[in-house]
Structure 1
Amino acid sequence: MIRLLVVDDSALMRKVLGGIFAAEGDFALAFARDGLEALDLLPRFEPDVVTLDVTMPGLDGLACLDRIMLARPCPVVMLSSLTGDGAEASLDALARGAVDVLEKPAGAVSLAIDRFAPVLVQTVRAASRAKPRTAHGLAARLRARHAGLVPPPGPRPAPRATEPGPDQGPSAVPALPLEAADGLVLVGTSTGGPPALTALLGALPASFPWPIVVAQHMPATFTGPLARRLDGLCALTVQEVTAPVPLAPGRVYVGRGDADVIVVRRPGGLMAAPAPARAEDPWHPSVDRLVESALGLVPPQRLVGVLMTGMGRDGARTMADLRARGGRTIAEAEATAVVWGMPGELVRAGGASVIAPLDSIAAELTAFVA
């Protein structure tokens, strides 16, 4: 049995979530109406995983998450609204150690439940086997915040003024001619991905010579704030792909959620472009589709695939093919992956050139492109 603690201030949502998991037959359930009640239940119920509403009165989801990670670290799945504030809070939660974030059904919950329930159950099952990451320096930060020395985290800095703004369009960056391109890095990740992307991209210099295209499984509401946050934390320039944009060295292109991101060729050179999600791919942006598109345009020897933490097998098949055709691939090691699903499938398929812990992937990647 999976011991699940459901924390939500809405009686309707507690009832809906309880019904979803009770129907599965292998969940032992407990419920809390707010963060304080959840903390009281934590040592008595000893959950394997917690679903935690982001927005609650009193002790909100972020503050409750901090205390869970101090008192009894366990996998936490955050349930967030679709608002911009909810997206920023969700990214804060992932940085503080939450395993994943899901959108709460909006409007008529009963109409969205058929779509929401399977994703929720699959995510919580994966989270129950995940390794929660406690944010570095959490205890000291909480002590300082309690003493009034630092404010709670807010939205990350806005993109640098030197970046092309929305009104400048893709033409502000020169296209990368196919014949002149040194190469291209393709990154795939899912559950636990935003902190992994922060660790990888934050360790790369602004002079990194190859463009990087990222397929991170995530709703569209979250990928824009994720790209802006990564841009503020990394030396590289990071942007969300909402329209075709030329590929250029020193830049990272994050696929928009609920759609796919692909590599295309235009008269001026290679570009990253959004594409409608394919029905046959269960997760989006699809890593498999990204790799397939790049293999159709760039010699495999000039491609590097990086597959990091995430449930499922997206990216394993195509990155194994990439390696078989002469390209290079890096799989995150099981010891550091929150969920060793996607990289584990790549390793089992014999498709990993290198298996590396998270804090070594940037060095491996730099060695590959040197």
Structure 2
Amino acid sequence: MIRVLIVDDSPLIRRLLGGIFDAEGDFEVAFARDGQEALALLPAWKPDVVTLDVQMPNMDGLACLDRIMLEHPCPVVMVSSLTEAGADTTLEALDLGAVDYVPKPGGAISLKIEALAPLLVEKVRAAASARLPKSKRLRDRVRLRTGLDRPPPRPVAPSRPSGSGAGASSPAPGDGIVLVGASTGGPPALDALLMPLPASFPWPIVIAQHMPATFTGSLARRLDKLCAMPVSEVVGPTPLLPGHVYIGRGDADIILSARGTGTIALSAPSSPDYRWHPSVDRLVESAMAHREAARIVGILMTGMGNDGARSMTRLRAAGGRTLAEAEETAVVWGMPGELVKAGGAEIVAPLDRIAARLMDMVPSR
């Protein structure tokens, strides 16, 4: 049985969410009306997963999440309308340690709960087997136990040299490209990948992170503040420049195409031929249609499912280079695990070594 603690101040929401899990037959459910009540239940009940609302009286969801991750670390899935409307709040929750999120439907939720149910169950099942990195917020936990409750400062990205913005020269024909795929646990993993890379990184990086459209713009802005390389969301035809990072718009697919002497990224309507969006498989396939495989590096990081495994296996067979996140650091070893099982991963590396391995793969300017 999977033990789930549902935390929400609405009696209706608690009843509806509880009904979803009861209908599955392999969940045991408990309820809390706010963050304080949830924290009181955690030590004795020991849930496998907590679903957590954001807006609640007494102690809101973010404050509760912060305490959970410091005092009783366990997988948390945010379930709130605010996480859909407020993408910054969702990213803050993921940064605090939440494994995933499910946007609560707006309007008459009792009429829309059936549409939410499959996604909620799928994500909670994945969260139940998720791996919380032992180092996640370790310093904060130590400081809490020693009475030093002031959190350490967030890292600041190195300053960018002048001239690194949109006016930079276009890459020469034949230059390479890095393609990155991620899903559950992806935003913090992208931090770990991108923050160590210098502004002088010689190739463009294109990312397909499974997310709704309301979140990917916020993700790009957040990464842009943290990274030495400029980061932007692709919403229209965008020429690819070296030393720039491009995030695919959510609820759509990001594909590459040739235009003139260069390569552009496009936001395309999501294709029903692919289950997850932005689709990693579709991104890689489009890149292989316009660039020789030897000039492509594919990186597959944490996420449930198998998106990207098929196309990156083909990429390696055609002479491209591929890298999969190791099981010991992936929150969910679905996507990278499938790549490894298919024999498509040239290199398997823990999260804190992926940036260094990428630098070894890519020739300097």
TM-score, structure 2 as length reference: 0.91
**Partner residue, 1:135:** 137
User: Aligned partners of 2:314, 2:35: CA distance in 1, in Å?
Assistant: 47
What is the root-mean-square deviation in Å for CA atoms of aligned residues? 2.6
Q: How is 1:226-265 mapped onto 2 (pairs within 5 angstroms)?
A: 226-265=219-258
1:216 aligns with 2:209: yes
Give the conservation status (yes or no) of the 8 Å contact 1:95–1:135: no
**Partner residue, 2:359:** 366
Please tell me the residue identity of whatever aligns with 2:322: T
Q: Provide closer, same or farther for how the CA distance between residues 100 and 163 of structure 1 changes in structure 2, counting only shifts above 3 A.
A: farther
Please tell me the residue identity of whatever aligns with 2:36: L
Q: Provide closer, same or farther for how the CA distance between residues 151 and 325 of structure 1 changes in structure 2, counting only shifts above 3 A.
A: closer
Q: How is 1:1-370 mapped onto 2 (pairs within 5 angstroms)?
A: 1-81=1-81, 86-133=86-133, 134-139=136-141, 172=167, 174-177=169-172, 179=173, 181-370=174-363
Give the conservation status (yes or no) of the 8 Å contact 1:145–1:151: no
Give secondary structure in 1 for the equivalent of 2:24: coil
Give the conservation status (yes or no) of the 8 Å contact 1:173–1:246: no
Give the conservation status (yes or no) of the 8 Å contact 1:288–1:314: yes
Give secondary structure in 1 for the equivalent of 2:6: strand
Give secondary structure in 2 for the equivalent of 1:360: helix
User: Aligned partners of 2:327, 2:18: CA distance in 1, in Å?
Assistant: 32
User: Aligned partners of 2:58, 2:142: CA distance in 1, in Å?
Assistant: 22
- Residues 341-369 of structure 1: per-residue CA shift (max 9 Å, x gap): 00000000000000000011011111110
Give the deviation of 1:86 after TM superposition. 2.5
Give the deviation of 1:268 after TM superposition. 4.9
Please tell me the residue identity of whatever aligns with 1:120: L
Please tell me the residue identity of whatever aligns with 2:171: L
Please tell me the residue identity of whatever aligns with 1:303: I
Give the conservation status (yes or no) of the 8 Å contact 1:90–1:101: yes
354-363 vs 5-14, which moves further? 5-14
Q: Provide closer, same or farther for how the CA distance between residues 320 and 151 of structure 1 changes in structure 2, counting only shifts above 3 A.
A: closer
TM-score, structure 1 as length reference: 0.90
Q: Provide closer, same or farther for how the CA distance between residues 258 and 330 of structure 1 changes in structure 2, counting only shifts above 3 A.
A: same
Give secondary structure in 2 for the equivalent of 1:58: coil
User: Aligned partners of 2:138, 2:290: CA distance in 1, in Å?
Assistant: 41
Give secondary structure in 2 for the equivalent of 1:137: helix
Give the deviation of 1:310 after TM superposition. 0.3
Give the deviation of 1:69 after TM superposition. 1.3
Give the deviation of 1:267 after TM superposition. 2.1
Please tell me the residue identity of whatever aligns with 1:71: E
User: Aligned partners of 1:150, 1:350: CA distance in 2, in Å?
Assistant: 42
Give the deviation of 1:139 after TM superposition. 3.3
- Residues 247-305 of structure 1: per-residue CA shift (max 9 Å, x gap): 00111000111111111111252111101011121211100000010010000000000
Q: List gaps (5 residues or longer) in structure 1.
A: none
